[in-house]
Amino acid sequence: MRFYRLLQIRTEALLAAGSHVIILGDLNTAHRPIDHWDAVNLECFEEDPGRKWMDSLLSNLGCQSASHVGPFIDSYRCFQPKQEGAFTCWSAVTGARHLNYGSRLDYVLGDRTLVIDTFQASFLLPEVMGSDHCPVGAVLSVSSVPAKQCPPLCTRFLPEFAGTQLKILRFLVPLEQSPVLEQSTLQHNNQTRVQTCQNKAQVRSTRPQPSQVGSSRGQKNLKSYFQPSPSCPQASPDIELPSLPLMSALMTPKTPEEKAVAKVVKGQAKTSEAKDEKELRTSFWKSVLAGPLRTPLCGGHREPCVMRTVKKPGPNLGRRFYMCARPRGPPTDPSSRCNFFLWSRPS
């Protein structure tokens, strides 16, 4: 409201000085019920302070002089007084733009004389994407006239800008350094260079020499990598292995039938062992990676829901919930979002 009052004071001062004024942009207020998708369900719609301010700023609908109230005219309602669904802002979170479930917050306001004499049309561009707002515009039958001097509100006349950096070339020319600054910079660079050399020399002195490394590890050539290490345990001479004929008799089947049976038994044992290992590995990973929970279906359309997070300050801040994934729209539209709601279980 402070911004609204400051805007009105400034525009009235410009009008009093004999200038024409156009207010163009997002005023963040839907003026009339026709400018809001759900004005019927909003309590005290007409009592909103922002709407009362717009009532004092604007003339009534129509361009007739008898309807004059405020010094400005809403140019769109001047040319389209009864156009419904003329919105310029929609909720991007709920996808309300698909069903034109929004409000008109962007205006082209002009002073009364200017709109009546020079405005030819005022329009909205809801088909232009890229934001939660759409562009608005107007057509005026005027011609540009070059000014003899800068307007009194030009930033050139502000104290912090007057006489300094008037050309972009000024930003591209390097500033000259004073001799004292250059000398201090040179000394700092020399000190940094000396310190770096000292650090490198210290690192070299602490690094072991190649001959020392080789003598400590006992690996002077490539063959030393393939020699058996003395730390490897040797076979104990006290252990007596069975004789070769006895081992052959124990391990080798005597007949071809026994060989075939042994081969089949061995293959079955390997298959069973591999199957058990695979089942064990599968059950383990299933227990660790259970996967996401199944998305619930909304009650109105029986379609997968979408997960949202509570961002409003309160006890449920940061808590997640499921809701219908369809775009928000009028309650009477069956293609709009239903009222399904379900809290998400904590993971």
What angle in degrees, to the nearest 10, is found between the helix axes of 2-16 and 49-57? 10
Q: Where is pLDDT greater, at 245 or 187?
A: 187
Query: Based on the structure, what is the number of domains in the chain?
Result: 2
Question: Of 97-106, 116-125, 246-255, 299-308, which range is least confident?
Answer: 246-255
pLDDT for the residue numbered 177: 53
Overall average pLDDT of the 147-175 stretch: 69
pLDDT for the residue numbered 162: 66
**Domain final residue, candidates 140, 167, 201:** 140
Q: What is the pTM of this model?
A: 0.52
Single out the residue of 346, 293, 345, 300 nearest to residue 323, CA to CA: 300
**Domain final residue, candidates 124, 140, 156:** 140
Question: Of 21-30, 170-179, 286-295, which range is least confident?
Answer: 170-179
The 3-state secondary structure of 222-248 reads HHHHHCCCCCCCCCCCCCCCCCHHHHH
Confidence of residue 146 (pLDDT cuts 50, 70, 90): confident
**Backbone phi and psi for residue 196, each to the nearest 5 degrees, phi listed first:** -65, -45
Distances, alpha carbon 67 to alpha carbons 49, 61, 112, 232, in Å: 22, 7, 11, 107
pLDDT for the residue numbered 205: 58
- Residue 325: inside a domain: yes
- Residue 229: inside a domain: no
Residue 66 belongs to what domain range? 1-140
Q: Where is pLDDT greater, at 109 or 174?
A: 109
d(CA 318, CA 325): 19
- Residue 106: inside a domain: yes
Confidence of residue 326 (pLDDT cuts 50, 70, 90): confident
Overall average pLDDT of the 182-192 stretch: 61
Residues at the annotated binding site for Mg(2+)? 26, 28, 132-133
β-strands 89-90, 341-343 pairing: unpaired
d(CA 129, CA 127): 6
pLDDT over 50 at 66, yes or no: no
On whether the CB atoms of residues 133 and 122 are closer than 8 A, the answer is no
Single out the residue of 142, 15, 138 nearest to residue 77, CA to CA: 138
pLDDT over 50 at 214, yes or no: no
- Residue 150: inside a domain: no
- Residue 155: inside a domain: no
Structure tokens at 97: 């733009």
On whether the CB atoms of residues 123 and 76 are closer than 8 A, the answer is yes
d(CA 46, CA 62): 20
Read out DSSP for 260-306? HHHHHHHHHHHHHHHHHHHHHHHHHHHHH---PPPPPBPTTT--B-E
**Separation of CA 70 from chain center:** 42
Average pLDDT score, the chain: 78
pLDDT for the residue numbered 148: 85
Q: Which residues contact 242 (CB under 8 A, 6 or more apart)?
A: 250
Condensed to tens digits (0 to 9), the pLDDT of residues 105-139 reads 999 999 999 999 999 999 999 999 989 999 999 99
Single out the residue of 109, 111, 91 nearest to residue 99, CA to CA: 91
pLDDT for the residue numbered 251: 54
Q: Where is pLDDT greater, at 140 or 175?
A: 140
Q: Which residues contact 110 (CB under 8 A, 6 or more apart)?
A: 20, 21, 22, 23, 72, 73, 75, 119, 138
DSSP secondary structure code for residue 258 in this structure: H
- Residue 147: inside a domain: no
d(CA 218, CA 212): 10
d(CA 277, CA 184): 72
Q: How many CB atoms lie within 10 A of CB 140?
A: 17
Overall average pLDDT of the 66-88 stretch: 87
Residues at the annotated binding site? 26, 28, 132-133
pLDDT for the residue numbered 143: 87
Q: Where is pLDDT greater, at 137 or 45?
A: 137
- Residue 228: inside a domain: no
- Residue 22: inside a domain: yes
**Domain final residue, candidates 122, 140, 158:** 140
pLDDT for the residue numbered 121: 95
| % of the chain beyond a pLDDT of 70 | 69
Structure tokens at 142: 């005027």
